[in-house]
Chains A and B, each alone.
Chain A
Amino acid sequence: MVLNMGPQHPSTHGVLRVVLRLDGETVIDLDCDIGYLHRGMEKIAENRMYTQIAPYWDRLDYIAAVSNGLVWVETVEQMMGLPVPPRAHYLRTILTELNRIASHLLWLATHALDIGAVTVLLWALREREEILKIFERQFGARLTCHAWRVGGMPNDAYDDFNKDVRQFVNNFPKRLDEYETVLSENRIWLSRTVGIGVISAEDAIAIGLSGPALRGSGVPWDVRKSRPYAAYADMDFDVPLGENGDTYDRYLVRLEEMRQSRRIIDQALEKLPDGPVNAKLPKVVKPPAGDYYHSIEGPKGEIGCYIVSDGTAQPWRVRVRPPSFVNLQALRQMCVGHLVADVVAIIGTLDIVLGEIDR
C-alpha cells in the first residue's frame, strides 16, 4: 500500500510530504517530497545589500531565528575583517544559547506529542514562553526577531536583562527534571524510542548529519568547540555524546545540551564585560571580492553560510548549508523496516524545520 503522508498531516512538522510504501504497517520504502515552502531566499539575497539580507536569514529556521541571524552577520564581519566588541560577542553567546534552549524545548514538545505524551507539550512551551519574553523585550519580536546587525547589535541589553536571564537560569533545571520524570524512565517512552531509527557513526558522517543527530551516534563534533565563534572560546562546557545513535540517545543528548546551554549562559552572564556593542562600520558594507564560508552550531546542527562577493554592495552568490535539509536525508535509512508509528517518531527526532529545508 502506498500511503501519502503530508503535506497536510499533523506530525510532519510543517509541509513535508512523505510517500510511504507499506507492507501492512511496515515501511518498505519512502520518499521525501520537499519544496512546498520554497521562497528563493538565496536568489533574493543576490539582489539585496549585505545589511538588508540579515532579516531574511531569520526566516530560514524560524524556530531559531537568533542563531540563523548570527551566521549571516558573522560571515559578513569576517569577510570585512571587522572586529566586534567583546560585549557584543558575549551577548550573542547568551542570546543564541537561549535560542538553542527555546528550539530544543519546541523539539521536546512536538516530539513528545508525536509519541503521544500531550502534557509535555504544554510544559515545554511554558518554559519557552519565558525565553520568548526575554526576546520580546530585547529585540521587539518573539519568533522572527531580527537580532543582530553587521558589526554588533542594534542596541545594548535592556535594563533588567541580567535579572530576567538569571531568573530563567535559576528556574530551568527544576523544570528539566520535571520532563525527565515524565519521560526518561517511562516504560512506554523507552519502548517507543530505544532502538528506533538507529544510524551508525559511519553512516551519520557519510550522510553529513550534524548537531544532536550526529552526536547521538557518538561522533565528537561541535562547531562551538572545533571552531569557536562569538565568545565560545572563553566558555567551559561539555559536549554530550550518545552511544547507539537511536532516538532515545538523541533525546538524551538534546536534554543534556539544554543543561550545558544553561551552563554557558550562566558563565557568560558572570563574565559579561562592559563597553560598546557596536563596531564602527563604513557607510556601505562592501566586503572585498572573494568567497568565504563560515558556520556556527545552530540548535539543529551546523548552519553554514557561503558568500561569493564581487566587491560590490550586493553578494554575487549566496549558499546556505541548512542542517535540517542535510539531516532529513537520513530519514529513509532510519525508517525502512520500522512501523508507521516509528516514522512519526523519527521525523520528530530529526528535528526538522521546513522553512530551512525549502528556503
Chain B
Amino acid sequence: MLLLGPINVLNDLLLKTGLSAETVNYFVWPLIQIGIVVTLVALWVAYATYLERKISAFMQARLGPMRVGPWGLLQPIADGLKLLTKEDFIPENADRWIFFFAPYIAVASAFIVFSVIPFGPDWAVIADVNIGLLLVLAVSSVGVLALILAGWSSNSKYALLGGLRSSAQMVSYEVAMGLSLIGALMFARTLSLSGIVGAQGSDSIWYIVYQPAGFLLFLISGIAENNRAPFDLPEAESELVAGFHTEYSGMRWSLFFMAEYAAMVVVSAVATTVYLGGWYFPFVNRLETSGYHNLYVIVSLLVFLVKASIILYIYFWLRWTLPRFRYDQLMDIGWKWLIPSALINIVLSGLAIFVVQALNYSGKLKTIEHLDRGLNMTAAGKGIVFGIGVLSLFATAAVLARINWRSRDFNLKVQRRDIKLVNLPKGKPAVQAES
C-alpha cells in the first residue's frame, strides 16, 4: 500500500485545486503519463545506443565506451550534449523548410506510437485505443515520409539515392509486416493492443507458440522497416556515405538517430505485445491477488521492458554479425519470400482455427473453452494449433523453395565451388645465394 500512497495524494491535491474529476482523469493524468513515457523512452533510446556500442564491443573483442563515468555509463549524455552544441549546418540550395522539418516528422512518428503501447496493466497504458495495432502500423509508416523528404531536400545525390531506397524498402516491407500480424489477430479477435495482451493472458499462452512463422516474419520485416542491418541500405555507409542523412549535422542528425532507435523500440514493443504475451509472466499476478496492486503493475512493467530488450538485443546481434544485402536482393526478399510466406501463414492460421472449431462444434472433442477474451482453448485445442503452427514453418519453406527454385540467390550453395590448389613447377631462381 506504500506504493499507492503518493499517487492518491497527488490525485487529491489535483482535485483540491478546483479541477473537476473529469479534467483530472482525462486531461491531467494522461499528460503526466505522456511526460513520464516520453522521458523514459528518450532515456531508453539513449541507453540503447550505449548498449549497442557495448554489445558490439564485446562481439569484437574490445571494451566500448569506458571513459565517461563508470563503465562509460554517462556516454549517451555526453554524446547528447556534444550533438546539441554542434553547428546545425544547412547545405546551400537545400530546400530549407523541408530540410528543417524532416527530422521532426521522423521523431514524432516514432514517439506517437508509444501512446498506445501497453507497458503494463492499469495505469501503465496511456490510451487503450480499440484499433491500436492499426494506429501503430499507420503512424509508423509516416516515418518513411521523413526519410524521403530528408533525402530529397538535401540536394545531394547520395541523400537522394538513400531516400529513394528507403521509400521503396519501407513501402514493400510494410505490406509483409501488416500481413504477418493477421495470424495473431485471428486468435486475439481484437485490434486493441491491451486486448491482445489480455487475450494471451486469459488463454495463458504466448502467441509465439501459435504463430512461430508469424513472429519470425514480423521480426524480419520489422528490422527491414527500421532500416537496420542487414537491411540498412538507405544509410549504407560504404556505398551511400550516410544515405538520407548525409547532409545532416548536429541535433538534427541525432534526431534521425533517435527516431531510428525509437522505431526499433516500437517494433520490439509491438512484437512483445503481440507475440510474447506483453507484460504477462507466470506467477506475477499472484502479487495482484495478494493485494499489492501497484507493485504488480511495476513488476509487470519491468517484465515488459525485459522482453522488449531481448528483442532489441536480437537487433544488435544481427547488425554486428551479418553483411548487408544489395538493393535488388532486398526487394526479392520482400516480395518473393516474405509476402508469400505471410500469406501462407494467414491461410494456415485460418485452417488451424477452422479445425479447432470444427472439432469443437461437431462435439467430437472439446477444444474451445470460451470466446470472451480472444480464442480460449483447452489443452487439446492448443496442441492442435501448436502442431499446425510448427508444420506451417515447413510448409512455408517448401512453398518458398518452389517459388524461388530458379532464382540465383536460392542456388548459391550449389554454385559454390572450392578453389584449386596447384603446385606450380619452379622456374630458374632470380637471385643467387652465397654458398
C-alpha spacing A112/B322, complex, angstroms: 10
Scan A166-200; emit 1 where CB is below 8 A from any B CB, else 0.
00000000000000001101111111101100000
Tell whether A1 pairs with B157 under 8 Å between CB atoms, given A228-B427, A229-B430.
Answer: yes
C-alpha spacing A242/B419, complex, angstroms: 5
A319–chain B nearest beta-carbon distance, Å: 18
List residues of B (302-343) whose CB comes within 8 Å of A's CBs. 319-329
Tell whether A341 pairs with B429 under 8 Å between CB atoms, given A115-B238, A119-B320, A253-B419.
Answer: no
Residue B416 at the chain A interface, CB threshold 8 Å = yes
Q: Are the CB atoms of A83 and B322 closer together than 8 Å?
A: no
Q: Are the CB atoms of B427 and A238 closer together than 8 Å?
A: no
A250–chain B nearest beta-carbon distance, Å: 10
Scan A215-234; emit 1 where CB is below 8 A from any B CB, else 0.
00010101001111111010
Closest residue on chain B to residue A338 by CB atoms: B326
C-alpha spacing A228/B426, complex, angstroms: 7
Scan A83-114; emit 1 where CB is below 8 A from any B CB, else 0.
11110010000000000000000000000111
Tell whether A116 pairs with B236 under 8 Å between CB atoms, given A188-B322, A341-B326.
Answer: yes
Tell whether A229 pairs with B429 under 8 Å between CB atoms, given A194-B412, A340-B161, A341-B236.
Answer: yes
C-alpha spacing A248/B415, complex, angstroms: 11
C-alpha spacing A78/B161, complex, angstroms: 54
Residue A239 at the chain B interface, CB threshold 8 Å = yes
Which of B56, B415, B420 counts the most chain A CB atoms within 10 A? B420
Scan B400-415; emit 1 where CB is below 8 A from any A CB, else 0.
0000000011001101
Q: Are the CB atoms of A86 and B329 closer together than 8 Å?
A: no
Q: Collect the chain A residues with CB atoms within 8 Å of residue B431's CB.
A: 74, 77-78, 84, 89, 228-230
Tell whether A188 pairs with B157 under 8 Å between CB atoms, given A126-B61, A233-B426.
Answer: no
C-alpha spacing A252/B416, complex, angstroms: 11
Residue B421 at the chain A interface, CB threshold 8 Å = yes
C-alpha spacing A283/B423, complex, angstroms: 42
Q: Collect the chain A residues with CB atoms within 8 Å of residue B56's CB.
A: 118-119
Tell whether A3 pairs with B157 under 8 Å between CB atoms, given A190-B412, A227-B428, A240-B421.
Answer: yes
C-alpha spacing A233/B429, complex, angstroms: 7
C-alpha spacing A253/B320, complex, angstroms: 25
Tell whether A119 pairs with B433 under 8 Å between CB atoms, given A113-B238, A239-B423.
Answer: no
Q: Are the CB atoms of B230 and A228 closer together than 8 Å?
A: no
Tell whether A188 pairs with B422 under 8 Å between CB atoms, given A83-B434, A227-B427.
Answer: no
Q: Are the CB atoms of A188 and B434 closer together than 8 Å?
A: no
Q: Are the CB atoms of B434 and A192 closer together than 8 Å?
A: no
B354–chain A nearest beta-carbon distance, Å: 35
Q: Are the CB atoms of B327 and A240 closer together than 8 Å?
A: no
Residue A249 at the chain B interface, CB threshold 8 Å = yes
Contact for B326 among A11, A77, A248, A339, CB less than 8 A: A339
Residue A241 at the chain B interface, CB threshold 8 Å = yes
Residue A34 at the chain B interface, CB threshold 8 Å = no
Q: Are the CB atoms of B415 and A243 closer together than 8 Å?
A: no
Residue A10 at the chain B interface, CB threshold 8 Å = yes
Q: Are the CB atoms of B61 and A123 closer together than 8 Å?
A: yes
Closest residue on chain A to residue B423 by CB atoms: A238
Q: Are the CB atoms of A78 and B430 closer together than 8 Å?
A: yes
C-alpha spacing A241/B423, complex, angstroms: 10
A264–chain B nearest beta-carbon distance, Å: 13
Q: Collect the chain A residues with CB atoms within 8 Å of residue B419's CB.
A: 240-243, 249, 252-253, 256
Contact for A195 among B324, B325, B408, B430, CB less than 8 A: B408
Tell whether A238 pairs with B432 under 8 Å between CB atoms, given A119-B60, A119-B320.
Answer: no
C-alpha spacing A233/B422, complex, angstroms: 16
Residue B70 at the chain A interface, CB threshold 8 Å = no
Residue A122 at the chain B interface, CB threshold 8 Å = yes
A149–chain B nearest beta-carbon distance, Å: 15
Contact for B429 among A186, A227, A236, CB less than 8 A: A227
Closest residue on chain A to residue B158 by CB atoms: A3
Q: Are the CB atoms of A227 and B430 closer together than 8 Å?
A: yes
Residue B424 at the chain A interface, CB threshold 8 Å = yes
Q: Are the CB atoms of B433 and A89 closer together than 8 Å?
A: yes
C-alpha spacing A275/B239, complex, angstroms: 52
Q: Collect the chain B residues with CB atoms within 8 Å of residue A249's CB.
A: 419
Q: Collect the chain B residues with CB atoms within 8 Å of residue A126's CB.
A: 61
Residue A117 at the chain B interface, CB threshold 8 Å = yes
Residue B78 at the chain A interface, CB threshold 8 Å = no
Q: Are the CB atoms of B61 and A342 closer together than 8 Å?
A: no
C-alpha spacing A188/B319, complex, angstroms: 13
Scan A63-74; emit 1 where CB is below 8 A from any B CB, else 0.
000000000001
Residue B274 at the chain A interface, CB threshold 8 Å = no
7 nearest A-B pairs in the assembled complex, by CB-CB distance: A116-B324, A122-B60, A83-B434, A11-B238, A225-B424, A238-B421, A117-B323
B residues whose Cβ falls under 8 Å from a Cβ of A: 56, 59-62, 157-158, 161, 229-230, 232-233, 236-241, 319-329, 408-409, 412-413, 415-434
A residues whose Cβ falls under 8 Å from a Cβ of B: 1, 3-4, 9-11, 25, 74, 77-78, 83-86, 89, 112-119, 121-123, 126, 182-183, 185-192, 194-195, 218, 220, 222, 225-231, 233, 236-244, 248-249, 252-253, 256, 279, 294, 339-344
16 A-B pairs with C-beta separation under 8 A = A10-B238, A84-B431, A86-B433, A115-B323, A116-B230, A119-B320, A126-B61, A182-B321, A186-B323, A191-B408, A227-B427, A228-B427, A233-B426, A239-B423, A243-B420, A343-B239
**Extra 7 A-B pairs, beta carbons < 8 Å, given A225-B426, A227-B430:** A11-B239, A119-B60, A186-B322, A186-B323, A195-B415, A238-B423, A241-B421
